[in-house]
């Protein structure tokens, strides 16, 4: 990183104290930008970097609700509207006890560049709350969502800001949020949220899109070395929306996926994960990964508390949460013959782990490229809502595939253009950044 970038980065750190995940995400992007800044002095003249790191708007609000025992609960809600150069703010909502401003800002910052890479007209934003949906009844989740939307509704809209799901926010929560938005505004504004149910404005393929997209991106990376998913031994972390659909897609391409996890532990299934059983346990019954081991029987071992990254694999798909895969895990995986990593989650690999993978020449697809299929399909949902149309599964999946192939191609081409062939981190950061920077330049100092 050159002196000018370093100075701007340090100023961002100073202005946002204690937000370690945000610092990490900013640092990673800045580390890629020196060659771009050298070619584009006009970005520095217009303070593009400083502006891109400062959210356009940050909203923090109280979310009061009453639990089933009649007790008042208070949570904190967030929406960070980061950048609207390319379109309305777009990005998910995360409900998890670990949520605070630094998490929302790291996710929102990543989202700016990810959304740019999709080529769709969407800006970057993210939100959520420190609410823990685990162990809550449906009625409690509904009351929380209604209270959350009672504040959020005034900040969002089809042309303003379009939230969707993330950790802890799936179809159930989007339903309750949409219902409350509609009730308060008296508008059936389908395009205000994505990830809706199929019968009321949702898009086919949106539930599968992030996991499918991550596997499609990995497939494109493997192709560059004359390899495929067929016969690979794949490790997946998590057992939520992204993980389950990544497992399904990888297995449909001939891989054997042997792991899945949650915050309680992980399972190893040497016969290959039974996706239908996993869906039943996690999506229908809202159970735990330990239940999978009990129900599946003797081919499966359950390891409480351990890390899924202690298991040998040739392809790793981290699909749980940030910083789940560290340098020790990376070194172990490399020893076991790892050839590719695609980040289904946002920033699941620590900076040190990423560096080890890159030094070893492992194919490495960063989250902002590899998991962009989810938000890209959200943009396809917005497109269907705007035209009051509903596309078939096949057509939508074809669009998703084209988008992932294009993202891979443009990251690879940009890395090549800047003298770093095969470096998808640099390719994604530079290409995402310049798309946003060029729009910001054109739109003046705002």
Give the interface with ligand NDP as residue ranges (CB under 6 A): 96, 98, 165-168, 170, 210, 238-243, 262-264, 319-321, 344-346, 371, 374
By CB under 6 A, tell whether 242 contacts ligand 2IT.
no
Q: How far is CA 358 from CA 129, 217, 361, in A?
A: 34, 17, 5
How far apart CA 228 and CA 338 sit, in angstroms, is 14
By CB under 6 A, tell whether 21 contacts ligand 2IT.
no
By CB under 6 A, tell whether 318 contacts ligand 2IT.
no
Give the DSSP H/E element, type plus range, for residue 82: strand 72-83
**Residue 170 CA to chain centroid, in angstroms?**
13
**Residue 90 CA to chain centroid, in angstroms?**
12
Query: C-beta of 381: minimal distance to ligand NDP in Å?
Result: 11
How far apart CA 196 and CA 165 sit, in angstroms, is 10
Nearer to ligand NDP, 212 or 229 (CB): 212
Q: How far is CA 114 from CA 32, 38, 91, 445, in A?
A: 15, 23, 10, 23
Residue 88's binding partner out of ligand NDP, ligand 2IT, none, with CB under 5 to 8 Å set by partner kind: none
Instruction: Read off the tokens for 430.
Output: 């530079």
- Rule CB under 6 A: choose which of 346, 354, 385, 423 binds ligand 2IT: 346
Query: C-beta of 170: minimal distance to ligand NDP in Å?
Result: 6
- 83 beta partners: 124
424-442 and 101-118 helices cross at what angle (nearest 10)?
90
How far apart CA 200 and CA 175 sit, in angstroms, is 9
Residue 239's binding partner out of ligand NDP, ligand 2IT, none, with CB under 5 to 8 Å set by partner kind: ligand NDP
Instruction: Read off the tokens for 97.
Output: 């006890």
How far apart CA 245 and CA 195 sit, in angstroms, is 15
Among residues 105, 126, 182, 282, which one is catalytic?
126
Q: Are 415 and 16 in contact (CB under 8 A)?
A: no
Is 126 tagged catalytic? yes
Nearer to ligand 2IT, 146 or 194 (CB): 194
Residue 90's binding partner out of ligand 2IT, ligand NDP, none, with CB under 5 to 8 Å set by partner kind: ligand 2IT
Query: C-beta of 377: minimal distance to ligand NDP in Å?
Result: 8
The three-point CA angle 49-111-310 to 5° equals: 115
By CB under 6 A, tell whether 369 contacts ligand 2IT.
no
Number of helices (H) and strands (E), helices first, in the chain? 17, 13
Query: C-beta of 420: minimal distance to ligand NDP in Å?
Result: 25
Query: C-beta of 190: minimal distance to ligand 2IT in Å?
Result: 14
By CB under 6 A, tell whether 108 contacts ligand 2IT.
no
Of the ranges 37-45, 85-93, 174-182, 331-339, which one interacts with ligand 2IT (CB under 6 A)? 85-93
Place of tokens 């990251």: 411
How far apart CA 209 and CA 270 sit, in angstroms, is 26
Instruction: Read off the tokens for 394.
Output: 């096949």
Which positions from 42 to 81 touch ligand 2IT by CB under 6 A, shown as an x/- string?
----------------------------------------
Q: Are 96 and 416 in contact (CB under 8 A)?
A: no
Of the ranges 8-16, 90-98, 151-159, 404-412, which one interacts with ligand 2IT (CB under 6 A)? 90-98
By CB under 6 A, tell whether 91 contacts ligand 2IT.
yes
Query: C-beta of 277: minimal distance to ligand 2IT in Å?
Result: 26
Instruction: Read off the tokens for 194.
Output: 């994505």
Q: Which of residues 149-188 bind ligand 2IT (CB under 6 A)?
A: 164, 166
- For ligand 2IT (CB under 6 A), the number of binding residues is 12
Residue 194's binding partner out of ligand 2IT, ligand NDP, none, with CB under 5 to 8 Å set by partner kind: ligand 2IT
How far apart CA 262 and CA 445 sit, in angstroms, is 45
Query: C-beta of 410: minimal distance to ligand NDP in Å?
Result: 18
Which spans in 224-285 are helix H?
Answer: 241-252, 275-279
Instruction: Read off the tokens for 6.
Output: 């370093």
Of the ranges 14-22, 87-95, 180-188, 264-272, which one interacts with ligand 2IT (CB under 6 A)? 87-95
Query: C-beta of 115: minimal distance to ligand 2IT in Å?
Result: 8
Catalytic site positions = 126
Residue ranges that bind ligand 2IT, judged by CB under 6 A: 90-92, 111, 114, 164, 166, 194, 346, 374-375, 378
């Amino acid at each position: 990183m050159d002196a000018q970038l370093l100075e701007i980065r340090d100023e961002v750190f100073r202005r946002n104290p204690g937000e370690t995940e945000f610092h990490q995400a900013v640092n990673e992007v800045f580390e890629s930008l020196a060659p771009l800044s050298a070619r584009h002095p006009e970005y520095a003249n217009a303070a593009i970097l400083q502006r891109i790191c400062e959210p356009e708007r940050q909203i923090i609000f109280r979310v009061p609700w009453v639990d089933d025992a009649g007790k008042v609960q208070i949570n904190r809600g967030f929406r960070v509207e980061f950048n609207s150069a390319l379109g309305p703010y777009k990005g998910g909502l995360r409900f998890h006890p670990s949520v605070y401003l630094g998490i929302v800002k790291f996710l929102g910052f990543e989202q700016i560049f990810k959304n740019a890479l999709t080529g769709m007209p969407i800006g970057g934003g993210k939100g959520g709350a420190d609410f823990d949906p685990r162990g809550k009844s449906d009625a409690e989740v509904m009351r929380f969502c209604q209270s959350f939307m009672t504040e959020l509704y005034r900040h969002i809209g089809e042309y303003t800001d379009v939230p969707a799901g993330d950790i802890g926010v799936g179809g159930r929560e989007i339903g309750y949020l949409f219902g409350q938005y509609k009730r308060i505004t008296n508008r059936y504004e389908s395009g205000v949220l994505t990830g809706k149910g199929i019968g009321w404005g949702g898009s086919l393929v949106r539930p599968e899109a992030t996991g499918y997209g991550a596997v499609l991106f990995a497939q494109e990376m493997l192709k560059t070395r004359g390899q495929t998913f067929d016969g690979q031994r794949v490790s997946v972390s998590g057992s939520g929306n992204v993980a389950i659909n990544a497992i399904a897609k990888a297995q449909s391409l001939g891989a054997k996926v042997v792991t899945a996890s949650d915050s309680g532990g992980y399972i190893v299934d040497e016969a290959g994960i039974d996706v239908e059983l996993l869906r039943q346990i996690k999506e229908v019954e809202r159970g735990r990964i330990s239940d999978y081991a009990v129900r599946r029987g003797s081919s499966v071992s359950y390891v409480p508390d351990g890390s899924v990254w202690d298991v040998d694999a040739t392809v790793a798909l981290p699909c749980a949460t940030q910083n789940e895969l560290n340098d020790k895990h990376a070194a172990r995986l490399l020893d076991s013959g790892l050839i590719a990593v695609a980040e289904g989650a946002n920033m699941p690999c620590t900076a040190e782990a990423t560096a080890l993978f890159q030094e070893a020449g492992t194919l490495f697809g960063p989250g902002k490229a590899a998991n962009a299929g989810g938000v890209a399909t959200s943009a396809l949902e917005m497109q269907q809502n705007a035209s009051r149309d509903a596309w078939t599964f096949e057509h939508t999946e074809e669009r998703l595939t084209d988008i992932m192939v294009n993202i891979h191609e443009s990251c690879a081409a940009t890395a090549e253009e800047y003298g770093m062939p095969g470096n998808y981190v640099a390719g994604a950061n530079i290409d995402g950044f310049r798309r946003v920077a060029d729009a910001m330049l054109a739109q003046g100092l705002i």
